[in-house]
Chain A
Amino acid sequence: MKIDESPKILLVSDFTINNMAGYLNNDDDFPTVKASVSPYGQVIQVLLNDNLDCWQNNPDFVVVWTQPENIINSFRPLLDFHKVDIQKILDDIDEFSKLLINVSRRVKHVFVSTWVLPSYYKIFKTLDMKNEIGVSNVLMRMNIRLLDNLADIQNICMLNAQRWIEVAGVSSFNPKLWYTAKIAFGNEVFKEAAKDIKNVIRGFLGMAKKLIILDLDDTLWGGIVGDDGWENIKLGGHDPIGEAYVDFQRALKSLTNRGILLGMVSKNDEKIALEAITKHPEMILKLEDFVGWKINWEDKAKNILELVSELNLGLQSVVFIDDNPYERARVSEALPEVFVPEWPQDKMLYKSALLSLRCFEISAISDEDIMRTKLYVVERQRGELKEKIGSIDEWLKTLAVKVEVEVLNNLNLPRTVQLLNKTNQMNLSTRRMTEAELIDWARQEQRKVWIIRASDKFGDLGLVGIVSIEVNNNIGCITDFILSCRAMGRKIEEIMVLTTANYARTLKLDKIIAKYVPTAKNKPCLEFWKSSGFKYEESEAFFEWDLQDDYPSVNHVEVIYV
């Protein structure tokens, strides 16, 4: 699936799910999708038989949304308050799980919604949560069993339908729609589900937001620090607003544990603002929680642009939070790629507003995600060193960059796929693939995939790059050329090219080529290739190196081929 194609989604359900297809298809937010509906009430047949018409357009994603009493027959008697055999129910769930796992081999991702029931089944409140006889009790066990069965399948994603029910409130279940058209839920539920699914797909496509840029006065704390002094800003204490600011900061800090970066852009005196952060005893966010800041009296849009550029991120990765509607409007207008959410006036709603943003979706969490803020802080220190030292070569010498090149294997596969699917800027072709697809692609004899790890004197950058080549007719075609923005600009790009060139020479190939596939975000990649020394066919966005000539070696970087 390419990033600019509309993903195809097949909805498989035992109730009428056309309304959700409508919401998905009518949503213009990126990416637009093409949702279709499988034949009504034929869940098992559809999951078993990929020759059915509904599979013929090769959907990228499948949503399986079933009603527990329909799909797990042994559960049904419990709704009539008969005794049920729990083990039989769990066995039936195991069988259903096998079908889902089977489907996961056919498509990129399977979304499975958890099972929910209308609240009227909870008529006997005291019995509802009792083992063996309580409807809610058994339903919870069923969902846990399903989750456990599918936990190790990378491309199956369970979605929490209970959340949609809670958001939809009293209109979650509409018996009229059920009796007249077998629509199991109210439209508010489908709306929420469609939004969640689109959000998860955006995450898969590497479109999740990565950086929250925050204003300070009346955003991170109450009051104007320049006027009031850091001792008098509203933060913590026995005060509802002060507590709300502390909670908001805590929520921001929690997001850094999921790899979200924080930055500051504020119209303030830098010294005074930073003093508040370092000295205020109830400040939850510390200076080391921020990957960068621009605190001055200049235009915030200009400051955001500069900060994002320093961090090597795209503007599309940014969320800007500011209490001031004027500043929000200014940034929205000047930088339309930046997501500027409407922000509540009521400070007590800050935390819930933050945690309701649907833009940070990631499908997995790696050690590097958890460490990301630290990695960027170290990167800032590198930058400071760069400013002190004049030339790139001198800087690299001081950095003591070490690069390890290793072939794709089962151990590095998960992180490789994560990098492949989320890197936008230094990305030659922006292919998005599952683990199974990448392994399958790399298995062919004429193809080779290397992964790149890097470190320097400030620390380990981890797995930062992917480069792959496919050989045809004595020509090596560089298919993937991906480098994390954290590692750009320290000659790792040249080492990646050199790796493919050396490999191509051992195979006695004539030349290597690279075809640049433009997206809205990968211009930095084009810029690198233009400076790579390869011959550039501009009309075809095509780069070529004749292997009669050696590709230049790279100084001041230690390379280890593992």
Chain B
Amino acid sequence: MIDREKLINTLYKAIDEVNSILEGDKICKSMDTSLYGDLGVLDSLGLINLLAAIEEQIEKDFGITLLLLDDIDLSEDTNDFCTVSTLFEYIFLRLSSQEG
């Protein structure tokens, strides 16, 4: 079973990493932060950077290879990356299914 608390920390570490290259608005580390889409702080390049950083951090923290970038849908109506919360749930589900 994936530890939700641990996964949030993993996500926040990846956000820290991406914030160091973001110009202007940074990603606030809270679940309701808008990430991508109309209200989001990330453009497509920012989102790719975030997903790459999350993949790397999950590998480090959980020892699991999660492929987020392989089937990435960058259209702005993708709900999975809308907020930190939706991204978290998406990753949690993916990890859980991989584990199962």
Contact status A26-B20, CB under 8 Å:
yes
Residue in A closest to B67 when the chains form the complex, CB atoms:
A176
A19 interfacial by beta-carbon distance below 8 Å: yes
B69 interfacial by beta-carbon distance below 8 Å: yes
A312 interfacial by beta-carbon distance below 8 Å: no
B25 interfacial by beta-carbon distance below 8 Å: no
Which residue among B17, B20, B44, B55 has the maximum number of chain A CB atoms within 10 Å of its CB?
B20
Q: List residues of A (167-199) whose CB comes within 8 Å of B's CBs.
A: 171, 174, 176-177, 180-181, 183, 187, 190
A384 to B76 CA separation, bound complex (whole angstroms): 74
Contact status A177-B48, CB under 8 Å:
yes
A519 interfacial by beta-carbon distance below 8 Å: no
- For the complex formed, measure the closest distance between the CB of A180 and the CB atoms of chain B, giving whole angstroms: 5
Q: Which of the residues B17, B23, B49, B72 comes within 8 Å of A21, measured between beta carbons? A: B23
Contact status B45-A174, CB under 8 Å:
no
B27 interfacial by beta-carbon distance below 8 Å: no
- For the complex formed, measure the closest distance between the CB of A191 and the CB atoms of chain B, giving whole angstroms: 8
A72 to B52 CA separation, bound complex (whole angstroms): 30
Contacts of A190 in B (CB 8 A): 21
In the assembled complex, 15 residue pairs joining A and B whose CB atoms fall closer than 8 Å, in A order, are A16-B45, A18-B21, A18-B45, A19-B21, A21-B23, A22-B20, A22-B21, A22-B22, A25-B23, A26-B20, A26-B22, A26-B23, A177-B48, A177-B52, A181-B44
- For the complex formed, measure the closest distance between the CB of B41 and the CB atoms of chain A, giving whole angstroms: 13
Residue in B closest to A19 when the chains form the complex, CB atoms:
B21
- For the complex formed, measure the closest distance between the CB of A421 and the CB atoms of chain B, giving whole angstroms: 29
Residue in B closest to A171 when the chains form the complex, CB atoms:
B56
Contact status A181-B45, CB under 8 Å:
yes
Contacts of B48 in A (CB 8 A): 177, 180-181, 183
Contacts of A23 in B (CB 8 A): 20-21
Main secondary structure of the interface of B (DSSP, over half): helix
Residue in B closest to A36 when the chains form the complex, CB atoms:
B23
Please give me the 6 A-B residue pairs with the lowest Cβ-Cβ distance, nearest first: A22-B21, A181-B48, A19-B21, A176-B69, A180-B48, A180-B69
Contacts of B49 in A (CB 8 A): 19, 177, 181, 187
- For the complex formed, measure the closest distance between the CB of B51 and the CB atoms of chain A, giving whole angstroms: 8
A180 to B73 CA separation, bound complex (whole angstroms): 11
Decide yes or no: A174 and B52 within 8 Å by CB, A16-B45, A180-B69, A187-B17 being known contacts.
yes
Q: Which residues of A contact B (CB under 8 A)?
A: 16, 18-19, 21-23, 25-26, 171, 174, 176-177, 180-181, 183, 187, 190
Residue in A closest to B49 when the chains form the complex, CB atoms:
A19
Q: List residues of B (36-88) whose CB comes within 8 Å of A's CBs.
A: 44-45, 48-49, 52-53, 55-56, 69, 72
A440 to B17 CA separation, bound complex (whole angstroms): 45
A183 to B47 CA separation, bound complex (whole angstroms): 13
Contact status B21-A26, CB under 8 Å:
yes
Residue in A closest to B56 when the chains form the complex, CB atoms:
A171
The number of inter-chain residue pairs (CB within 8 angstroms) is: 39
Q: Which of the residues B17, B23, B44, B55 comes within 8 Å of A176, measured between beta carbons? A: B55
Which residue among B55, B56, B72 has the maximum number of chain A CB atoms within 10 Å of its CB?
B56
Contacts of A16 in B (CB 8 A): 45
A18 to B69 CA separation, bound complex (whole angstroms): 19
A18 to B18 CA separation, bound complex (whole angstroms): 12
Which residue among B20, B21, B53 has the maximum number of chain A CB atoms within 10 Å of its CB?
B21
Contacts of A21 in B (CB 8 A): 23
A169 to B88 CA separation, bound complex (whole angstroms): 29
A23-B21, A187-B21, A187-B53 given; 9 more Cβ-contact pairs under 8 Å: A16-B45, A19-B49, A21-B23, A22-B21, A23-B20, A25-B23, A26-B23, A180-B69, A181-B44
- For the complex formed, measure the closest distance between the CB of B24 and the CB atoms of chain A, giving whole angstroms: 9
Residue in B closest to A26 when the chains form the complex, CB atoms:
B20
Contact status B52-A176, CB under 8 Å:
yes
Contacts of A177 in B (CB 8 A): 48-49, 52
Residue in B closest to A179 when the chains form the complex, CB atoms:
B69
Contact status B52-A22, CB under 8 Å:
no
Contacts of B69 in A (CB 8 A): 176, 180
Contact status A180-B72, CB under 8 Å:
yes
Q: Which of the residues A22, A181, A183 comes within 8 Å of B23, measured between beta carbons? A: A22
- For the complex formed, measure the closest distance between the CB of B4 and the CB atoms of chain A, giving whole angstroms: 26
Residue in B closest to A18 when the chains form the complex, CB atoms:
B45
Which residue among A16, A22, A26 has the maximum number of chain B CB atoms within 10 Å of its CB?
A22
- For the complex formed, measure the closest distance between the CB of B46 and the CB atoms of chain A, giving whole angstroms: 9
Residue in A closest to B24 when the chains form the complex, CB atoms:
A25
A25 to B23 CA separation, bound complex (whole angstroms): 7
Contacts of A25 in B (CB 8 A): 23
A1 to B55 CA separation, bound complex (whole angstroms): 42
- For the complex formed, measure the closest distance between the CB of A202 and the CB atoms of chain B, giving whole angstroms: 20
A16 to B72 CA separation, bound complex (whole angstroms): 19
Contacts of B72 in A (CB 8 A): 180
Contacts of B23 in A (CB 8 A): 21-22, 25-26
- For the complex formed, measure the closest distance between the CB of B75 and the CB atoms of chain A, giving whole angstroms: 14
- For the complex formed, measure the closest distance between the CB of A207 and the CB atoms of chain B, giving whole angstroms: 23
Contacts of A174 in B (CB 8 A): 52
Contacts of B53 in A (CB 8 A): 187
A101 to B52 CA separation, bound complex (whole angstroms): 37
Residue in B closest to A21 when the chains form the complex, CB atoms:
B23
A18 to B22 CA separation, bound complex (whole angstroms): 9
Contacts of A180 in B (CB 8 A): 48, 52, 69, 72
Contacts of A18 in B (CB 8 A): 21, 45
Q: List residues of B (1-27) whose CB comes within 8 Å of A's CBs.
A: 17, 20-23
A320 to B47 CA separation, bound complex (whole angstroms): 42
A23 to B44 CA separation, bound complex (whole angstroms): 18
Residue in B closest to A16 when the chains form the complex, CB atoms:
B45
Residue in B closest to A20 when the chains form the complex, CB atoms:
B21
- For the complex formed, measure the closest distance between the CB of B40 and the CB atoms of chain A, giving whole angstroms: 17
